[in-house]
Every structure is written in C-alpha cells, then in structure tokens.
Structure 1
C-alpha cells in the first residue's frame, strides 16, 4: 500500500523523527511510504535518514500559506501513485485535505500536540480551519493518547472519527559496555553516581528552567549527574545559568552536539522530563525502549506512558522533582526494577512494528 505522509517541514523534531522510525519498519506491515514536505529545511538529517531507508522525499519549497500548495502537493503525490494521504502538524492538515480531495483519495490526520490557547484572533481562525478540514475531509483523525482525544473533543472536533493510536519507536540496539563507560567518563560521572538525562529540545516550553530549579535543590551529597542533550535557542541561556550557580556547575553537563541519542540513553540511569505539556512524549517512549526509568511531570498524556511501575510521576514543582531524583539516585535496585518494567511495557504497547501494523489496519479500514 502506497501511503504519502505530508508534513510542513523535515527539520529534526518529534513527529518528523517518528517518520524515520516508521520508515524502518513499514515494509513489515506492507506499507510503501513517501514523504512530502511543504517547505525546505537547511538541516538534511531527517531527509537523509528517510532516503537511506528507501523512502522517496520531496521538499516543495513553498512559503507558509502559499495558495498553490494544494495543487503542488496533489501533483507530487499523483506522480508517486499515492493511495492515501496521512497528514501531520498544523497547515499540513489543511493543505493535505485539499490535495486528497483533488486526487480523490482518502486522508488521515494525526494530532501530535495538546495545543495552548490561541494567542490572537488569527490563531483562532487557523485552528478552526484545521478542525473544519478534519471534520469535512479526513476519513479519520488520530489522537496519540486518550488525554489528547478528550482535549480535541472539547474543541468541537469530530467525535465518531477520532481513534486513539499511540506512536511507537524502533527497538534500539544494545549499547556496548565500553561505549557506555566512555560516555559516562566524558560526562564526568563518578563511580557510584547515577546519570540523569534530559533529551528535550532546549526551548521555552520544554521545562528546562523547572529542571534546573529542581537540581539546585538537591543535597550537595546526592550522587547524581544531570546531562542535558539536544539543542535549541535556549541553550546559551541555560549554559549561562549553570555557569553562574555553584550547585548547578558541579552537577550539570551539556552533551556535545552530534552524540548518538541511543548511546546516551543506554548510558543513562534515568530520564528526566519536566515539560509543562505533552500528548505522548516520544522521549519517554525511547527511554522505555532502552529500559531506563523516568522522572516525569504529571501533564497531558504522560501518565499514559509513565506509571508507578515504570517511573515516578511528579507535579510541576521543583521540590517533588528534586525529592524523586534524590531517592532514585541512591536506589539502584529500584531503578533496575522500574527499567525492566518500562522495557516490558514498551515491547507490549509501543514497539514500532506493532505501531506500523496498527496503522496498516487503520488504512485498510479507511480504504475498504
């Protein structure tokens, strides 16, 4: 089955990286993927990763809200013989619905976020346009968590055509013990210390300020090193704050750009996720796949991933986050139990092959 995935752009990010995971396992579900991006990105990481997996990629170089977009997309998909269009993220939903209508093929939309309230009238109009496009032209709207489905229904979204279908991630290869030791040595993790890893992009909505507030509250004797990976516009500010604080400077490390995320996860003892929102954070799915327990804020769909059996849920306050970190830092047996349970749940519910097969079932239903 030929399925075209439409995205606004292919810069590194959660939904875009998810397409790489899907491409890895799609043939095992009988799916032939193609990916079309409305705009062009200077970062070719995702494009290269998709092409290495045999997925045709087209970047159309369109400006936002270009009136030619639907026609250009329809032409690109028709040339590639797409049987179904699957859209991701705002704007791609509207354009994809119009393009699928022109092609007379069905369309499916995945919701990836629980959005904040619109900032102004224009934002409200755009959100309304996306909802109407899904209501009128999408055969199904996919929510990635039950919490997200209820949020969307509250906006007046379609009730009967929303299906909950959580994302999945590819099972990572085991990390070589020597490589794990090397990573921990570079991050200056002492023997007997635990390593907590945050892989959230360094931007305002990812919760790094709360994370640092919590780390500053840790007792000086707590055997914990905190590593901040990823990148983003907030990195210079975060580096300045850490440098200005004795409590942070001795404990927080910034991971060098380009480090393999799978190796980082395999080198960590726990994952720290302090975002104020999230429908179903991919970072937590990847932690589960690596068998690493998480300390995560109780927001959005996070409790559908992290439970008391697989990690620790905390409120959006630095004190409880610090308490959870301090407790896990000194309890390797508990970390091992939580990590084992997280890995088992990942294999049962969030492994990428099962995800691809569930998508194939949805596509078959839509095309029937």
Structure 2
C-alpha cells in the first residue's frame, strides 16, 4: 500500500520497557505504518529483556525494516541518561529518520534530547501516563515535570491517548506550548469478532493485574451479595496474577465466596472472555484501558468504573459507569446485568458499535500519520 502524503516516512519509535498497553500501542502503530509503506524502527531498553519480551519483539520484527535497537535505559534518571540521547541522535542520523516518536517518560525524554531541530524532521511525544504518574510533591516528580516544561520547545507535537490524559498533563505540568492532539488508542479488525462464552462460563470475569489499584477487593465485596437468575449465588472467574493475589484469595474465603470464585492465573484476554458472561473492570484508576475496549469489541456486557478515559470509551453510555471504590453501586450493576440480560445484551451491542467506529487501529494511525506529515511541513 502506498504511503499517505505521497512519500514514505522513516520513523523511529522510542520507548523503554516493551510491556503493557504502551508496547501494545507502539506495536499496533508500527505494524499499521509499515502496512502503509513507511519504514519503522524501534528503540527499547536492553535491561528490560526476558524470553517473553524477545518473543514479542520477534513477532514485530517483520514490520520493523529499520531494525530493533537496544540501549540501556533504567526507569529512574541517572548518568546513562546523558549518553543515550547522544547514541540515539547518532542512530537517527545514520538511519536518516524523518520522525522521532518518544513514548512514555523515558522514551519521550531521550527522543527529544536526541533530536536536532530541522525543518524536514519531526519529534513527537506520547506520555502514556508516564510522567503523569509522578507526584507533584516528590523530588523526582518535580524534576520530571520541570524537564517536561523545558522539553516542550524541542517537541513538534504531543499526542495524548485520551482527553483525560491531556487534562491531567495540563494540571500537573501546564498547557502545552507546542501543538497537542488527542488520538485514542485503537483495536485491530480481528478483535471485533464476537466471542461466545463457554457453556460453563461464570456469571462474571475479571481480567487484569491482581493489585488493589485494579479494585479487585471492591469487586469481591460487591460479588458476595450477587445471585444468579435462579436465585443461587453467582460465580466469578478471575484471570491474572500480581502482588496482592494472596490477599484477595484470603478475602474471598473471609467473605464465604471462595467456593464460587476461581483464581485461574494469568492468560490472554481473548481466551479469558470465553470464561465469563460479563466482564467487570472495577479499577480505582486508569488512563485508557485496552481491556475495556477489547471486551466491548468482543460483544460482551462490560461493567466498569468512572475513572480516567473510560467515559470516553463508553461515549453516550457513560452514565452507566460505576463510581470507583463503591462496592454497593457495583453490586447493583452486577445484579442488574443478571436480571436484565436482554437489556444488557442490547447495551453491549451498542457499545461494540461505538468502539468499532471510534477506536480502530486504522483511525488511530490515520491521525498520527497526519501529525507526522504536519510536523515536517507536509500536512
């Protein structure tokens, strides 16, 4: 497929650890840009490497014609952060890149320090939460936020994945002095294929990291009071692992629901969707969670909290979102899904259509590609 704008771009994506939603975004963007005829390379942290990471990078390599380039990028600031921008700048010149796109706090920091301002090149930055996670009262937070303000002058454009992220950035750091746009993350076409729950699927399924920030303790408290359509206690399938797993297993026992909660360990979300008839996302904080979009795209009813960019995913149905940390409100919503199953199914289909229309990888890449061309004067 010919590149949009009449020419092929040479793009270097810069990030630290190739894990989580940030890597998912970079991978999807890289594949789509490659499909459109652009040449893409990836810079990652050489310290954040294990067998799973290598498998992910190997799967992405066919779309990375400019290669994968590992550098030492510790999470915290240190002496090495003075060296990497020099190395990255040399790599950019060697590869003759048009675009340096930094992702996350470290990726954005290095990409913008490495950039040599030229009229025919662009330097873009997507925070992905990153620097926004640093407290404004901590010394490291104040340092990162000051660096953010200084680096704006070396930034062609900032891309936020949600309106929530843009507002949080403005509040913590200040209004961007460079161009700024909101471009929502997107899903691939195949992710909109419907998922049919297994015959023995639980009433509810949770998929995510087992830590308190994800609201699992709130979910367990709410679940304890939910019954199925026949008046029997409902069932819950938990997919994931994390530092608070033992606490949650003990809590399930204390609540008397251990016999109807399965802690299955980590596994792919797409497979996990088959294990429940409704996906519950009870997070206490989020940015723009992929799991909400993925569950909606699969056609399943989704119960989620009103945090971060989740209202942007739900769009016209945002009034159905549950207050974070409110177990009683979550219990009522869970009970409603069971007792009003036909209504829940209709709501799920409407949400799937909304996500398909507004949160596709193609739509995401269209917007970012346009920003790339604009940054080098070809918009």
**TM-score class normalised by the smaller sequence:** 0.7 to 0.9
User: TM-score scaled by structure 2?
Assistant: 0.83
Taking the aligned partners of 1:120 and 1:198, their CA distance within structure 2 comes to 33
Task: State the partner residue of 2:349.
Answer: 340
Deviates more, 1:45-54 or 1:326-335: 45-54
Taking the aligned partners of 2:272 and 2:319, their CA distance within structure 1 comes to 18
Deviations 1:42-79, CA, capped at 9 Å, x for gaps: 33434433432312322213444312111122233444
Q: Does the Cα contact within 8 Å between 1:172 and 1:290 map onto a contact in 2? A: no
SS in 1 for 2:343: helix
Which residues of structure 2 form unaligned runs of 5+? 1-8
Q: Does the Cα contact within 8 Å between 2:222 and 2:328 map onto a contact in 1? A: yes
Taking the aligned partners of 2:124 and 2:363, their CA distance within structure 1 comes to 19
1:116 positional shift: 5.9
Taking the aligned partners of 1:161 and 1:239, their CA distance within structure 2 comes to 47
Shift of the 203–88 alpha-carbon distance from structure 1 to 2, 3 Å rule, reads: farther
Which residues of structure 1 form unaligned runs of 5+? none
1:147 aligns with 2:148: no
Q: Does the Cα contact within 8 Å between 1:7 and 1:38 map onto a contact in 2? A: yes
Shift of the 325–84 alpha-carbon distance from structure 1 to 2, 3 Å rule, reads: same
1:106 to 80, 100, 122: 122
Task: State the partner residue of 2:3.
Answer: none
Taking the aligned partners of 1:6 and 1:197, their CA distance within structure 2 comes to 35
Equivalences for residues 26-45 of structure 1 within 5 A: 26-45=33-52
Task: State the partner residue of 1:236.
Answer: 246
Task: State the partner residue of 1:68.
Answer: 83
2:210 to 202, 225, 235: 202
Taking the aligned partners of 1:197 and 1:80, their CA distance within structure 2 comes to 46
Shift of the 20–265 alpha-carbon distance from structure 1 to 2, 3 Å rule, reads: farther
Equivalences for residues 289-308 of structure 1 within 5 A: 289-307=297-315
1:329 positional shift: 2.0
1:270 positional shift: 2.1
1:51 aligns with 2:69: no
User: TM-score scaled by structure 1?
Assistant: 0.86
Q: Does the Cα contact within 8 Å between 1:29 and 1:356 map onto a contact in 2? A: no
Task: Please give the root-mean-square deviation of Cα atoms over the aligned residues, in Å.
Answer: 2.6
Deviations 1:155-207, CA, capped at 9 Å, x for gaps: 31315611111111223354786xx53xx64xxx3xxx52x222232234222
Shift of the 319–311 alpha-carbon distance from structure 1 to 2, 3 Å rule, reads: same
Deviations 1:103-143, CA, capped at 9 Å, x for gaps: 8842111122253633522321122212321x111110111
1:99 positional shift: 1.0
Task: State the partner residue of 1:87.
Answer: 102
Taking the aligned partners of 1:77 and 1:202, their CA distance within structure 2 comes to 39
Shift of the 160–100 alpha-carbon distance from structure 1 to 2, 3 Å rule, reads: closer
Shift of the 223–138 alpha-carbon distance from structure 1 to 2, 3 Å rule, reads: farther
2:289 to 281, 294, 297: 281
Deviations 1:286-310, CA, capped at 9 Å, x for gaps: 1222122321111222111124648
1:24 positional shift: 3.6
Deviations 1:330-364, CA, capped at 9 Å, x for gaps: 32212221221122112211011221122111111
Shift of the 330–81 alpha-carbon distance from structure 1 to 2, 3 Å rule, reads: farther
Taking the aligned partners of 1:22 and 1:252, their CA distance within structure 2 comes to 37
1:38 positional shift: 3.0
Shift of the 103–362 alpha-carbon distance from structure 1 to 2, 3 Å rule, reads: closer
